Chain A
Amino acid sequence: MRQDYHPLAWLAWATAAAVVALMTLNPLYLILLGLAVLASYRVISLRSPTARQWGAFLKAGLLIWAITIPFNAVMSHYGRYVLFRLPADWPLVGGAITLEAVAYGFARGLSLVLLLMIFATFNSAVDTARLLRRMPAFLYLAGMITSIALAFVPQMISALQEIREAQRVRGHRFRTIRDLLPLIMPLLTTGLERAMQLAESMEARGFGGSAASISRLLDYTLKGMTLAGLLAVLAGLFARSYWSRQAWIGILLTAGGLLLMAAAFWVQGRRVRRTRYRHDLWLSRDTLMVASSAAAAAGILIARALNRAALFYYPYPPYSVWPTFDWRLGLLYALFMAPAWLLPSARTAQPDQYPLPREPL
């Protein structure tokens, strides 16, 4: 039995959490949501063998937060509660340092950190490649290419490191753009050599398998449809920004183009006979997680629609620096802890399901 959730359940959770995080600046709700996300991350990072560390994301977020608060405090001198004053003759930063400015920086920064936390949790819980494999059949090739590219990037980064070291020990110094040549050339050739090997290994395993042959006419028709669809989408986007009055023209063009491309992909996808291996089972706790996230998001959105002030927070006068708190809304935000609750506790897990050693980030 696996110890995590279905990728689609995670996708639903992350989307809902991100939406409600963007709904408010109220620090109390944000903190509550932050704790819920943290709890979910902790649980999943301890259980799932494929979970990754979120260290880098979080560090970046906290750094931004640590900068936002003092920056906002010294730049905005507006507010009723003066904490202390900097000499007025200091350019820009001189003047009153107010509680409101600190509170605003705190809330702004917090909402950013929160979004990063949600993304990081999603990223550490879900294997991106596995999510890509769930693409509908006609997008199979696109998903395949993306997943290869994703696996290729870390390889290339380590190759780059190796090449940089190798050129440094030859006494090469990196000063101007031209000095990058000894770095780029081996990287390109290494990349090409790897790509060739990968292609060989894919072909030897029957990739692109038993495509039924089609007539040349159909082949050209399909290519034509893809191209026409792409052009229509571009024209639609262009039309929307130009003739903003007649928005429907643009929308029609875009939709028509997308439809055309989808049809071409679909016909093409049907030609190749292939199956997909999916070993993720949809469990009842996945349903519960999706249901609770959806319910929480819906509840919060409805509350906001009914009463715009419910989630509103703006510390500067004429509004209050002290956030309001409604326990019902608080409860809805806390529902995002669902991933942490729904897993069986670590003690009941089988010994062989304990996390395997993870790669360092």
Chain B
Amino acid sequence: MIHFRRVSYWYPDSPEPVLRDVTFDIEEGEFVLVIGPSGSGKSTLLRCINGMIPHFYGGTFAGAVRVAGLDPVELGPKGMAHLVGFVLQDPEAQFVVDTVEDELAFAMENQGLSMTLMRKRIEEVLDQLSIAHLRHRRISSLSGGEKQRVAIASVLTLQPKVLVLDEPTSQLDPQAAEEVLTVLQKLNEDLGLTILLSEHRLERVAQYADRILWVPAPGRPPALGAPAEILAQVDLTPPLITLAKAMGWRPLPLTIKQARPFARRAGLVGQPSLQDEESVIRRRPPNAAPQDSLTVDMRDVWYTYPGTDQPALRGIHLQVNRGEFLALMGRNGSGKSTLLKHIIGLLQPQRGQVLVAGHDTRRHSVEELARFVGYVPQNPGALLFQDTLQDELEFTLRNHGMPPRDYTPLLRALGLEPHLERYPRDLSVGERQRAALAAILVVEPQVILLDEPTRGLDYPQKRSLAGFLKEQKAQGRTVIMSTHDVELVAECADRVVILGEGEVIVDGPARKVMTSSMIFSSQVNKLLRDDRFLTVEDVLASIPPAEVGQ
């Protein structure tokens, strides 16, 4: 179906090729997962399939690509549109018109299909992706997962043979990602569509993939093979597979179900202690800690966004002590971001009070609060605008009227030292996220707030972020982060607050909350069902080294 023969590609003005002599074949009806660290050339490779490279990006192209016998280099993306459907990462940026039905028609209009054919195909696609209920909706009113499903539908109307998706779930929360991936699996199984998907969430898709294409680094040859075979040699793996590799389980289990017999044989599956669920979810009594050590103190905070009638926060009581690492969890729209914005003073409570290190946020401006509270927004692109990373850091210092200081330790801790002179927006997703962190943390705030810090990061990047945050906590800083990422929480948080519809539902020690929860639990804990084990390190530390790998 798809054949690459010695394909090499250089971006314009780049001396080193991103792809060098890439050769592989993908059969019709295969579901191929494309993995690799960010910046390794996954996107570039995918864009060769519909001719976007070299047609849209320019550069130098060598070698041959054939998709169903056609040459994308010759035909270009327009000529390949009926054969290859292409879905991009950002659900916001790929819509042309603003209602769902019209968006679905767009590709067919470009091909000059007749009205009757368009109507038929739209009905079919709406049902295939189960989005018939959305057909009259405005695209701006859809959730992220719904948007991505509409984006997939809008390319399927041309009935392509190949569907290529470039990290379609990286900007989505787990539930929305689940919706999208389920749809893809169904399309592959029911329609026999050949699917190429680049994706970071291996734990969810590894089991559906027929094969995995591993792109290790720019200019290095990719490897194509069975999932278990590829994952055994790759180090970007979910905790379950990391554990399985450390324990030497063969064949490599891809799901929790497959791993369970191994765990049982290794004698690792514990008895879930019947701990009192009540005691876990009981919220902390207000003012439990001595007053002077409180860094953040929210008392009966209520907030309703203008123009809506549902309060986003309803009577939040929350005390966070100095040096705590708190994870805010809960579904989208449960009030996590709203809560964080209250601590930095971007939003002010309509009822109740927020005290940060004793300062009432209503009496101090954001600019004043920002000296001891660092808030890292979800989208680092909103922050970075200078020509070099160094300028970014100095801009923040200047804003606060602080003298230039030595920020090399900070940059070293974030692994950004080599990038000091680079244009921040050219950095990879993970580096950009860390650059934003550096730009905020250069004033050494006592409280660090993070909104969804791991969105779009791959496993190594997550791991390095977790390491950095733990170090910050060790230095006595308070960290409060909102996240959907259970593994990150398992690795570094010591307290978990779960919000639901603007209220604190659960507030307790991370270990207790996570081991007693069905969904807010880590993969390792789901596998072993033992309170002692949340992370791979927990498990490995509990068994004598001699037994590991046997």
Interface residue ranges, A against B (CB under 8 Å): 49-50, 55, 127, 129-130, 133, 144, 147-148, 150-151, 154-155, 159, 162-163, 165-173, 181-182, 185-186, 189-190, 193-194, 197-210, 273-279, 352, 356-361
B92 near A194: Cβ-Cβ < 8 Å:
yes
Give 12 A-B contacts (CB < 8 Å), ordered by A residue. Answer: A55-B307, A129-B102, A151-B139, A163-B382, A170-B370, A170-B440, A171-B367, A173-B399, A202-B106, A204-B81, A275-B118, A277-B101
User: How far, in Å, is B154 (CB) from chain A's closest CB?
Assistant: 7
A170 near B371: Cβ-Cβ < 8 Å:
no
Residue B105 CB within 8 A of the other chain = yes
Query: Once bound together, how far apart are the Cα atoms of A130 and B136, in whole Å?
Result: 12
Q: B399: which A residues are within 8 A, CB to CB? A: 170-173
Out of B77, B92, B384, which one reaches A204, CB within 8 Å? B77
Interface-side segment among B21-29, B82-90, B480-488: B82-90
Chain A residues touching B, majority SS:
helix
Given A169-B344, A203-B52, do A359 and B88 touch, yes or no (CB 8 Å)?
Answer: no
Residue B333 CB within 8 A of the other chain = no
A147 near B136: Cβ-Cβ < 8 Å:
no
Residue B383 CB within 8 A of the other chain = yes
User: How far, in Å, is A222 (CB) from chain B's closest CB?
Assistant: 21
A189 near B385: Cβ-Cβ < 8 Å:
yes
Q: B130: which A residues are within 8 A, CB to CB? A: none
B82 near A206: Cβ-Cβ < 8 Å:
yes
Q: B546: which A residues are within 8 A, CB to CB? A: none
Given A203-B52, A203-B78, do A162 and B379 touch, yes or no (CB 8 Å)?
Answer: yes
* Contacts A163-B382, A169-B366 known; 16 new A-B pairs at CB < 8 A: A127-B99, A129-B99, A130-B99, A151-B95, A165-B382, A168-B366, A169-B346, A171-B399, A186-B384, A198-B94, A204-B50, A206-B107, A206-B110, A208-B110, A210-B78, A277-B122
User: How far, in Å, is A112 (CB) from chain B's closest CB?
Assistant: 24
Query: Once bound together, how far apart are the Cα atoms of A219 and B106, in whole Å?
Result: 26
B383 near A170: Cβ-Cβ < 8 Å:
yes
A205 near B155: Cβ-Cβ < 8 Å:
yes
Query: Once bound together, how far apart are the Cα atoms of A169 and B122, in whole Å?
Result: 46
A148 near B96: Cβ-Cβ < 8 Å:
yes
Out of A130, A163, A206, A360, which one reaches B307, CB within 8 Å? A360
Residue B137 CB within 8 A of the other chain = yes
A170 near B136: Cβ-Cβ < 8 Å:
no
Q: A275: which B residues are within 8 A, CB to CB? A: 108-109, 112-115, 118
B440 near A201: Cβ-Cβ < 8 Å:
no
A205 near B110: Cβ-Cβ < 8 Å:
yes
Residue B175 CB within 8 A of the other chain = no
Q: B275: which A residues are within 8 A, CB to CB? A: none
Query: Once bound together, how far apart are the Cα atoms of A168 and B345, in whole Å?
Result: 10
B381 near A197: Cβ-Cβ < 8 Å:
no
Q: A198: which B residues are within 8 A, CB to CB? A: 93-96
Query: Once bound together, how far apart are the Cα atoms of A345 and B346, in whole Å?
Result: 46
Looking at chain B, what size class is its interface with the partner chain? Answer: 35 or more
A186 near B382: Cβ-Cβ < 8 Å:
yes
Closest chain B residue to A278, Cβ basis: B115
Q: B305: which A residues are within 8 A, CB to CB? A: 360
List the 7 closest A-B pairs by CB distance, nearest first.
A206-B81, A277-B105, A201-B94, A171-B399, A185-B385, A205-B107, A197-B93
Q: A273: which B residues are within 8 A, CB to CB? A: 112
B110 near A170: Cβ-Cβ < 8 Å:
no
Closest chain B residue to A279, Cβ basis: B101
Closest chain B residue to A205, Cβ basis: B107
Closest chain A residue to B154, Cβ basis: A205
User: How far, in Å, is A120 (CB) from chain B's closest CB?
Assistant: 16
Q: B108: which A residues are within 8 A, CB to CB? A: 275, 277
Query: Once bound together, how far apart are the Cα atoms of A50 and B134, in whole Å?
Result: 11
User: How far, in Å, is B157 (CB) from chain A's closest CB?
Assistant: 9
Out of A154, A162, A205, which one reaches B81, CB within 8 Å? A205
Given A127-B99, A206-B78, A278-B115, do A171 and B110 touch, yes or no (CB 8 Å)?
Answer: no
A168 near B367: Cβ-Cβ < 8 Å:
yes
- Among the interface residues A144, A170, A200, A356, which one has the most CB atoms of the partner chain B within 10 A? A170
Query: Once bound together, how far apart are the Cα atoms of A237 and B141, in whole Å?
Result: 43
B141 near A359: Cβ-Cβ < 8 Å:
yes
Q: B439: which A residues are within 8 A, CB to CB? A: 170
Q: B85: which A residues are within 8 A, CB to CB? A: 204
Q: A173: which B residues are within 8 A, CB to CB? A: 367, 399
Q: B302: which A residues are within 8 A, CB to CB? A: none
Query: Once bound together, how far apart are the Cα atoms of A130 and B139, in whole Å?
Result: 13
Enumerate B13-61 residues with CB–CB distance to A below 8 Å. 50, 52, 55-56
Residue B375 CB within 8 A of the other chain = yes
Given A171-B370, A204-B77, do A356 and B86 touch, yes or no (CB 8 Å)?
Answer: no
A359 near B111: Cβ-Cβ < 8 Å:
no
Q: A169: which B residues are within 8 A, CB to CB? A: 344, 346, 366, 370, 374-375, 377, 440
Closest chain B residue to A55, Cβ basis: B307
User: How far, in Å, is A140 (CB) from chain B's closest CB?
Assistant: 9
B396 near A276: Cβ-Cβ < 8 Å:
no
User: How far, in Å, is B223 (CB) from chain A's closest CB?
Assistant: 27
Q: A207: which B residues are within 8 A, CB to CB? A: 78, 96, 106, 110
Q: B158: which A residues are within 8 A, CB to CB? A: 205-206
Given A50-B138, A171-B400, A279-B119, do A201 and B93 touch, yes or no (CB 8 Å)?
Answer: yes
User: How far, in Å, is A324 (CB) from chain B's closest CB?
Assistant: 42
